[in-house]
Structure 1
Amino acid sequence: MGVELGIIEGFYGRPWSWDEREATVAFLAPHGYRFYLYAPKADPYLRRRWQEDHPRDIADGLARLAGRCAELGVRFGVGLSPYELFRGFDQAAREALARKLGFLDSVGVRDLAILFDDMHGDVPGLAERQVEIAHWAAARTMADRVLVCPTYYTDDPVLDRVFDPRPDGYVEQLGALLDPRIEIFWTGEEVCSRELSPGHLRRVTEQLRRKPFLWDNYPVNDGQRMSQYVHVRGFTGRPASLAGHLAAHGVNPALQSTLTCIPALTLVESYARGDEYEYLAATLRAARQVMGDELGRRLYEDVLVLQDVGLDRLGEKEQLLRDRWTGVDHPAAREIIAWLDGAYRITEEIVQTQ
């Protein structure tokens, strides 16, 4: 395959259950998915309330998931978003960060990701402050891989509109100052990139002074608009030639854990088949692997409606979908019905508060 693949659970909205996480890891591991990064926006103890201890039930769940990943030969990691810590990295903040790092060590974290996304960048010396925090954490964690998500992790100007204009030379400064052993996340030309090219990745590699660690925002569907759709179509715009230009390829999955496995399998096929890859044929094969021949074919027939029409524009197609999937004893079928019922809807309030 030529590139390390993994899942980054990094979406807004209703998080996966522990059973769903373990089932996803167990299904994808034999197909080449080698890491799992736990970073759901719904875990406040990794984000706005990061200085507080995780409740015991979540801590136990993390330890069990880490153990299951280890059994399957999958690296387990956690994404920590120390909310705007770079505005005041004082002694109290350092003590809080040390406690959190100790907790993550205790549950068996191998990959530690320090995430500075979703934070305002109107701070003098932003890159230098973030590098200081990353180096401080890297010196104190037992994780054997450390990763950083920049505040500006894409060329997409939407980040400048939402989180203040990026400082001049921010990406280059981050790349120059950060220890070369620390990986840097990048999503591509857009937050949700339609395609990625070797030329773009070569340019970003020069800026970061290392190959980018791809945070791929497909098939994620966690925005107010995107939650109207279920992304089950096979990967496109990710040619196999990307492999030599990436440190690794992490997939931010859909809210529907079982259905996520369909596009996830097609990414494996895309890297394996190269120029012979056909995304629709791969979608059908993956659907059959995930759901069995009959249900996989049925799902394939519904790809256009699930992915392109939109929940609020289904019209009479909604009842057709309900007739096809109600009562079907398969988790993917239950996910489709839950989506029709509005269980996965994302509001702007959810995005603003998680």
Structure 2
Amino acid sequence: MASSSEVRQKGRSGTKTFIGGVVEGFYGRPWTMEQRTELFKREQKWGLNTYLYAPKDDYKHRMYWRDLYCAEEAEELTALISAAKKHNIDFIYAISPGLDITFSNSKEVAALKRKLDQVRGMGCSSFSLLFDDIETEMCAADKQAFSSFAHAQVAVTNEVYLHLGDPETFLFCPTDYCAAFCTPNVSQSSYLHTVGDELLPGIDVLWTGPKVVSHKISVESIEEVSSILKRAPVIWDNIHANDYDPQRIFMGPYKDRPTELIPKLRGVLTNPNCEFYPNFVAIHTLAMWCKAPADPAPRDVEMGEEEQDPCYSPQKALTLALADWLEEFLNTDQPTACLKKESSDEEPMQTDLGEHSYVPGPGENPLYTAEPLTLDDLKLLCELFYLPYEHGATAKTMLHELNWLISHSQAEQTSEWCSTARQFDDMCEAVVRMFNRLSNVPNRKILYDLYNYICDIKSGVNLAQAYVKSLGGFGKPSAQLMSADPEPWGFRGGLSGEFQRMLPGHGNRDLFKYQPKTSVYCIRPYCAEDKLDVQKIFVQMQRERQIKLSSTTEPPLISDILTTGELAPSPQCALVLEDDFGVCGYMLALTDAKEAAASIQRDTSDSLFEEFPSLVTGQLLPRVVDPSPAKQMMGQLLTSIRSSGSRGVFCELRHTDRRMLDFYTKSSSFRPLEMAGLPPDVIAMGTTL
């Protein structure tokens, strides 16, 4: 009798087993046969069951897909398929003919069948046709034969599937393989509708989620695409992929995919980092996610912000993975850790501590002994190289503290500044210790995959550490930072960095003062229907800053009554900001604030109203981490106000609203103003037009 877990994992796909495993589908140097065999062993040990062979740089997989494998290549591939079977791993051979296939040419389709027949002869029983990352314009011959690109792909895929005789597993990767590629959207995509209607039911469809590299994948989004495809998709998950940026690597846990997805999916395949050995955490935690219980036991403690799934905890999964990974690091794969100096040119190299081993004398330096790598070191490593859309906890703290130390360095060094500087220095030292211990681990294979990344982070941390020490007077200014002719390691990024720094908004990206931009924002005119959303944002931001509105004995702020809707903004002087989740910010203005001040019995005799007759107010939700949309909205409003004949604009800001204070101070020409009638916790700032 099957267990409840096995039954649940059959999901919508009837008796088919839930696909869980790894796709080698990245651009770059493919993994070696030895590494793939090691992968099969790990997958079997951790409970995964699938490997999809799709390395973009196997020429006969993609560029020269028509060419058959030579005898030597066929022998290697046969051995690999046998190794997968030995470990109960379903080996899926993928081929990507989409770069140049003529779908209407029977000889081309015959070549495709012949290639797959060759692989079937090697013992392979599962296959995949991939049409990702290709041009969507059909050639003239195909346009005459097929009504659309989707019809052409589906016709060939169905024919190949039938030719192979209902293979054990058959996957199809569409050209529109994520929601972002669908025109105009998933539910109205004619391409996806054709795939869903015409693709044979035994063929499964690959899908990456909302984006190519999806931050989160929701149950609702999967239900939507499943209804169009008429089948549960297999997620090709790029959350740990790094082939798009050789300076990044990702070792955080599998997360932001609720386990409620499992019964709604055909399976999940992770397409991880190009480097093989650093994928330990990615694959280990995916395996734990796939095994999440259907009916979890209630937790005794309250879940944290990132622990909302009662069936799977990313942090617990990470801790368990790191404990296993530490054993891998400490396994000796070559005797480098035991080597010692030769005592003479004639004496052979010694690898044991015999009677001739060197012993330091009194007053001499002791022999160097490498400290062993710890679990805390690995946790720090993963937090420094976490996931595409977020840094780990320690990295976030370091960036926050460095930004605070720099921005408060001009004031007298307070005890708070000195304490924060010491904490930052301690964290930098921990990074250096982690680097030193990693550099001396016995397992050099893992180290070599990580070395470029840990060298880079150590260098960046050392520079930041030296700079903070110089700010606090703890050390001399760093020659690397201050020299007019620095060494090449004193500046980052090479030619790519030079280009990036010449573009707007990218001058400080090395330190990620702001999180990487991940949203597409829309700025549009305010309308009556936006009134409630603007009020909600206003109230939320007041609560988050624990602001008490003006008491009944004080006149209300003009900006408050403008935001709450008691006062309407001037024509052409109101904008809202939208992202994928809805309205997330606003900018409103009055061209004649003096008239509004009189209506609420504010002192209007102040001569500043003559110089600054107009008012602007705005707010952004915390999820808007990119400052550029606010700058664009402010620029548009100031242009509209100027065209009305106004001479100047002012704003009213509470001292606790540090974010907007920082915006007006650093992002524009606003300066503090003396204005009568303001509560003590409010300041005014203005700019002339």
TM-score range, shorter chain: 0.7 to 0.9
- The question of 1:137 aligning with 2:160 is answered yes
> What is the aligned counterpart of 1:329 among 439, 442, 452?
442
Rounded to whole Å, the distance in 1 between the matches of 2:233 and 2:102 is: 26
- Residue aligning to 1:189: 210
CA distance in 2 between partners of 1:196 and 1:340 (Å): 30
SS in 2 for 1:46: coil
Of residues 27-36 and 285-294 in structure 1, the stretch that sits farther from structure 2 once superposed is 285-294
Letter in 2 for 1:336: L
Q: For 2:190, which of 152, 166, 169 is the aligned residue?
A: 169
1:207 corresponds to which residue?
228
Once residues 325 and 257 of structure 2 are traced to their aligned partners in structure 1, the CA distance between those partners, rounded to angstroms, is: 22
In structure 1, distance between residues paired with 2:323 and 2:452: 21
Post-superposition Cα deviations, 1:219-269, rounded to whole Å, max 9, x if no partner, equal: 111113xx3222111011111100011011111121122221212221232
In structure 1, the gaps of 5 or more residues are 161-166, 343-347, 349-354
Given that 1:149 and 1:184 are in contact with CA atoms closer than 8 Å, whether structure 2 keeps it comes out as yes
Match of 2:380 in 1: 301
Q: Contact 1:86 / 1:129 at 8 angstroms: preserved in 2?
A: no
1:265-280 maps to which residues of 2 (within 5 A)? 265-271=284-290, 272=292, 275-280=310-315
State which drifts further: 145-154 or 100-109. 100-109
CA contact (8 A) 2:102 2:108 kept: no
Over aligned residues, Cα RMSD in angstroms? 2.6
Identify the residue that residue 247 of structure 2 maps to in structure 1.
228
Match of 2:170 among 146, 170, 174: 146
CA separation in 1, counterparts of 2:26 and 2:35?
15
Range with greater deviation from structure 2 (52-61 or 73-82): 52-61
| Partner SS, residue 44 of structure 2 | helix
Segment of structure 1 superposing worse, 104-113 or 79-88: 79-88
- 1:101 alignment partner in structure 2: 116
Q: Which of 180, 184, 195 is the aligned partner of 1:156?
A: 180
**CA distance in 2 between partners of 1:319 and 1:297 (Å):** 13
2:274 & 2:375 partners in 1: Cα distance? 19
CA distance in structure 2 between the aligned counterparts of 1:16 and 1:60, rounded to whole angstroms: 17
2:151 aligns with 128
Matched, 1:287 2:322: yes
Q: Tell me the amino acid that sits aligned with residue 326 of structure 1.
A: S
Give distance in 2, aligned partners of 1:215 and 1:146. 14
Equivalent residues of 2:23, 2:271 under 8 A apart: yes
Q: Is the 8 A contact 1:233 1:263 kept in 2?
A: yes
Pairing 1:218-257 to 2, within 5 Å after superposition: 218-224=239-245, 227-257=246-276
Rounded to whole Å, the distance in 2 between the matches of 1:82 and 1:96 is 10
User: Is 2:435–2:455's contact at 8 Å kept on the other side of the alignment?
Assistant: no
The one of 67, 74, 80 equivalent to 1:59 is: 74
- CA distance in structure 2 between the aligned counterparts of 1:75 and 1:277, rounded to whole angstroms: 25
Distance 1:305 1:82 in 2: 38
- Which shows bigger deviation, 181-190 or 115-124? 115-124
Whole-angstrom distance in 2 between the partners of 1:91 and 1:4? 33
Indicate the SS of the match to 2:163.
coil
Residue 129 of structure 2 aligns with an amino acid whose one-letter code is I
Task: Choose from 154, 175, 179 the match for 2:200.
Answer: 179
* Residue 29 (structure 1) shift: 1.3
Q: 1:296 to 1:53 in 2, by over 3 A?
A: farther
Counterpart of 1:119? 134
Deviations 1:32-58 (A, max 9, x none): 110101100110111111111224443
Change beyond 3 A, Cα 1:168–1:156 = closer
| Residue from 34, 40, 62 that aligns with 1:25 | 40
Distance across 1 between alignment mates of 2:120 and 2:151: 26
Return the TM-score normalized by structure 2: 0.45
- CA deviations 1:190-239 (Å, max 9, x no partner) are 11111111111111011101001111112111113xx3222111011111
Between the two proteins, what is the percent identity of the paired residues?
A: 24
- Name the SS of the counterpart of 1:117 in structure 2: coil
Instruction: Tell me the secondary structure at the aligned position of residue 302 of structure 1.
Output: helix
Could you tell me which residue of structure 2 aligns to residue 6 of structure 1? Answer: 21
Shift of 1:127: 1.1
| 8 Å Cα contact 1:50-1:83 kept in structure 2 | no
- CA change 1:169–1:76 in 2 (3 A) is same
Question: Per the alignment, in what secondary structure is the counterpart of residue 60 of structure 1?
Answer: helix
Distance across 1 between alignment mates of 2:455 and 2:57 = 21
- Structure 2 residue runs without a partner (length 5+): 10-17, 294-308, 331-372, 400-427, 457-495, 497-689
Report if aligned partners of 1:35, 1:74 keep a CA contact under 8 Å in 2.
Answer: yes
Following superposition of structure 1 onto structure 2, how do residues 75-94 of structure 1 map, counting pairs within 5 Å? 75-84=90-99, 87-94=102-109
Deviation at 1:84, TM superposition (A): 3.9
Cα offsets for 1:134-193 (capped at 9, x unmatched): 012112226322111001111114x88xxxxxx951001111000011001111011111
More displaced 10-residue stretch of structure 1: 270-279 or 186-195: 270-279
The Cα offsets for residues 258-303 of structure 1, whole Å up to 9 and x where unpaired, read as 2212122212323415515321232121021133295544211212
Task: Answer whether contact 1:147 1:184 (CA < 8 A) is retained.
Answer: yes
Contact 2:93 2:124 (8 Å CA) reproduced: yes
Query: Bigger shift: 178-187 or 143-152?
Result: 143-152
How many residues get paired? 329
SS in 2 for 1:113: strand
Distance 1:228 1:280 in 2: 25
The structure showing larger relative contact order (alpha-carbon pairs under 8 Å, at least 6 residues apart) is 1
**Cα separation, 1, equivalents of 2:455 and 2:228:** 45
Within 2, Cα distance between the matches of 1:55 and 1:340? 40
The one-letter code matched in structure 1 to 2:67 is E
Which AA in structure 2 matches 1:170?
A: Y
Q: Quick check: which one's helix share is greater?
A: 1
> 1:340: Cα distance to partner?
5.2
CA distance in 2 between counterparts of 1:195 and 1:80 reads 28
The one-letter code of the counterpart of 1:145 is T
Kept in 2: contact 1:154–1:191 (CA 8 A): yes
Superimposed CA distance per residue, residues 120-139 of structure 1 (whole angstroms, 9 cap, x where no aligned partner):
11235111111111012112
For 2:235, what is the secondary structure of its paired residue? strand
Cα distance in 2 for partners of 1:241, 1:300 equals: 28
Amino acid at match of 1:329: P
State the match for 2:351 in structure 1.
Answer: none
TM-score by length of 1: 0.85
Output the CA distance in 2 between the equivalents of 1:296 and 1:76: 34
